[in-house]
Structure 1
Amino acid sequence: MGWARTLNGDAQATTYFDVSSFGAVGDGKTDDTQRDLPKRPKRATASSWFKAFFKAWDATCKSMSPSNLIVTGGKSFLLAPLTLEGPCHSTPITIQVFGSIVAYPDTDSVWGGHLNEWIAIKLTNGLNIEGDGTIDGKGQLWWPKRCIENQFHGCYERGPAALAFHNCDNLYVRGLHFVNPGQQHMKIEDSTYVYMEQLHMTAPGDSPNTDGIHIQGSQHVTIKNSTIATGDDCISIGDGTYDVNISQIACGPGHGISIGSLGQGGSTETVERIYVWDSYFTGTTNGARIKTWQGGSGFARDIAFQNLNFWNVENPVIIDQNYCPHTTCQDKKSAVKISNVKFIGLYGTSEKPLAVTLDCSQTVPCTDIVLYNIELNTSNAYYKTTSYCSNVQGTVGGICYPAVPCLHYV
């Protein structure tokens, strides 16, 4: 049976729960979810109170005072897929991660090959997660099993995201190290007032779909002062998201910071009030990117990319309203409306001569696009940078290199 430690002070007492005292071994070999492993088990849930991590969470969540759940330092906890679910009695709850949390390596018997998430936290309000510990998704076990995309049969197997939050309001995440997730390092879905800082995310540049942070259906999100190296977007922003502030991000390798893709399969999707500034992109496929599918509807608006530095980036500035990763793509008339987008103070080098791409829909053109003080040279001094734009309305001001002649100079 686990123990709790209570510290008293002027404020309400805080109770501490250590996973090691609830039976978690942390030797890197023992399954610290402590469950039997049938051939294709069902996903464990927080209602399985007798299991080590679940029992520690259950005690923390039911505590009537502010509570801290501690993942002990100097240990490596091997975990099968788990879900920690609220709502909880106490607030705030703090999870302090000092040790390593490692995904169970037997993907066939434990995972079943169909789970989208490894660690999921749901329905909590006032959750803090902090510490210098590591979350290791063992993605290298999943990446080779990813089937080749087939647009006719829909074959696109992916590994699980390492850490996912659903319906978590007033969420604070700080200091964690993420390594090699099966898919995204972190997902934020249907949550409000989220603050993340000093995160470190690392996966090889050729690892499939390993986005750093994916945000979906969430509002009032801040991400700052973090290092993200991935095989996909460093940060991606999906449907139903607004009021996002991103700053002081070191991105690379990866696919840059992306809004979208939006409108796939003819869906109606909306994104607005997204601000990205004071960040660095090194050797990424893209820099500041907005991507939408033909045939969709909705809008992406009130977006600003400001004070960004690029070093050897393949596509530093790109709006793509005709996004389609398939070999054959249909020509459709409807599109997600892109408007009021500002690119201000962008400097550095482009791997290719084409440094600015504004490729918009003929029937739903991009409007109110602003470029101001842009200086993008090629990594190869023998070439000059160029731009491409189609169906774009907007203005250019200050220094703008390369020139973007389709926009109105003011």
Structure 2
Amino acid sequence: QRSYDRFLNTKMNMSPYICGILMCVAAASAVDVWNLQQLEAAKRGNDLTINVRDIFVPAGQTLNFEFVKPGTTIVFRGRVTFGYKEWRGPLVILKGRNLKIKGGAGHIFDGEGRRWWDGTGTNSGKIKPYMFYVQLADSSVRGLTIKNSPAHTFAINDCNHISINNVMIDNRDGNRFGGHNTDGFDVAKSHRVIIANSTIYNQDDCLAINSGTDITFQRNKCIGGHGIAVAVGGYDVNEARNIVIRGCRCLQTKYGVRIKTLLNGRGIVKGVKIENILLKDVTDAGLLIIGNYLNSGPRGEPTGGIPIEDLTVNNVRGNVLAKGTNINVFVANARNWNWSSNIQGGQRRLPCKGIPNGLRIPCG
């Protein structure tokens, strides 16, 4: 018995030293990165955390987090900047599985977009790079701050089961210096995506969903820009199902919420819920749902090759400026809609067409 007691006492007395060793091991499991060469070394290593400090990405190169080991946490802790070149980008790639990506205190991605901005966006003029390409699974992105994207900020493509939370996209300088096509979040071919609690200042869509399933955009604030859109047609996949847009605010945007399907396109939009949306001083249209969309603008009669089915509009409220339209619906082959809205102020009257039988929508 005495031998056993001595063993227990020895084990208990050693426990602080063991804990100290474990703490040292935990501390040693993080690596700091200050350049692209160190990032490549960190991806080959076994550290559980990669701390990205002040880092300059040379012109025409990408800050590439592809091939980071599953289970890694990536923390941005400094100022990330990029050299100037006319190219498509992206400037940053976030790609992998089971990753946690975080923004630390004081960090920023500064795209310095004014070097590219010329008022034409990605349509013409200078060739402008996308900011982030995201292809993640079972991962989270939280607390990032982005300023002055040259063009589209987040291209979210082929993602599955991810959350993006508490992101700040600040492209306000683009209002004065020719920013255009500075989309906040573009989502395509992705499933089980949540984007929440984020703020977007920009000069194009706050959110644009081109395809995917089970996508939720909630408690976000869109300021300036073109508001929130489900835009389907013209891609290799043209289906958007089970989309929830909830608890968002659109402030001084061109549009509130839009569903737009391509003229003569083929696909489906099914199960969209637009709930508890506040509009304030929207300029052109509060709710716009059209089936004759082209990039150059709506044209002709709506076509029904991409029907909008099982749509719910609930408690969409607020105001449109006098020269705008409160609500415009111009579709074909729509069915099974539910609608409750209170949008006022717009005095421009546009004809509505294709509203499902038995549903009353206060067009105009």
Q: What is the TM-score when the length of structure 2 is the normalising length?
A: 0.83
* Cross-structure match for 2:91: 118
User: CA 1:228/1:359 → structure 2, altered by over 3 Å: closer, same or farther?
Assistant: same
- In structure 2, stretches of 5+ residues that fail to align are 1-19
Q: Which has the higher strand share?
A: 1
How far apart, CA to CA, are the structure 1 residues paired with 2:342 and 2:249?
15
* Cross-structure match for 1:323: 293
Does residue 82 of the first structure (1) align with residue 65 of the second (2)? no
* Cross-structure match for 1:302: 271
* Cross-structure match for 1:69: 50
**Which of 349, 358, 361 is equivalent to 2:329?**
358
Find the structure with the greater CA-based Rg. 2
Letter in 2 for 1:207: G
How far apart, CA to CA, are the structure 2 residues paired with 1:328 and 1:292?
10
**Alpha-carbon displacement from aligned partner over 1:216-242 (angstroms, at most 9, x marks no partner):** 111100111111011100111112x11
* Cross-structure match for 1:337: 307
Larger CA deviation: 287-296 vs 138-147:
138-147
How far apart, CA to CA, are the structure 1 residues paired with 2:249 and 2:298?
34
* 8 Å Cα contact 1:17-1:59 kept in structure 2: no
Q: How does 1:37-116 map to 2 (within 5 A)?
A: 52-53=35-36, 55-64=37-46, 67-72=48-53, 75=54, 77-80=56-59, 81-82=61-62, 84=64, 86-88=66-68, 90-105=69-84, 107=85, 113-116=86-89
Q: Which has the higher helix share?
A: 2
Q: What is the CA-CA distance between 1:56 and the residue it aligns to?
A: 3.0
- In structure 1, stretches of 5+ residues that fail to align are 1-5, 21-51, 108-112, 150-154, 406-410
How far apart, CA to CA, are the structure 2 residues paired with 1:356 and 1:332?
16
User: CA 1:274/1:11 → structure 2, altered by over 3 Å: closer, same or farther?
Assistant: farther
* Cross-structure match for 1:275: 244
User: CA 1:280/1:70 → structure 2, altered by over 3 Å: closer, same or farther?
Assistant: same
Q: How does 1:1-400 map to 2 (within 5 A)?
A: 8=22, 15-20=29-34, 52-53=35-36, 55-64=37-46, 67-72=48-53, 75=54, 77-80=56-59, 81-82=61-62, 84=64, 86-88=66-68, 90-105=69-84, 107=85, 113-122=86-95, 124-131=96-103, 132=105, 133-144=107-118, 146=120, 149=123, 158-166=127-135, 168-203=136-171, 204-205=174-175, 207-239=179-211, 241-260=212-231, 262-264=232-234, 269-314=238-283, 315-326=285-296, 329=299, 335-351=305-321, 352-361=323-332, 365-372=333-340, 374-378=341-345, 388-393=351-356, 396=359
Letter in 2 for 1:162: M
How far apart, CA to CA, are the structure 1 residues paired with 2:302 and 2:324?
29
Overall identity of the aligned pairs, in % = 20
Count of residues in correspondence between the two structures: 336
* 8 Å Cα contact 1:371-1:395 kept in structure 2: no
How far apart, CA to CA, are the structure 2 residues paired with 1:286 and 1:328?
14
**SS of alignment partner, residue 43 of structure 2:** helix
User: CA 1:11/1:316 → structure 2, altered by over 3 Å: closer, same or farther?
Assistant: farther
Q: What is the CA-CA distance between 1:193 and the residue it aligns to?
A: 1.0
RMSD of Structure 2 on Structure 1 (CA)? 3.0
**Alpha-carbon displacement from aligned partner over 1:56-76 (angstroms, at most 9, x marks no partner):** 3333333345x211122xx46
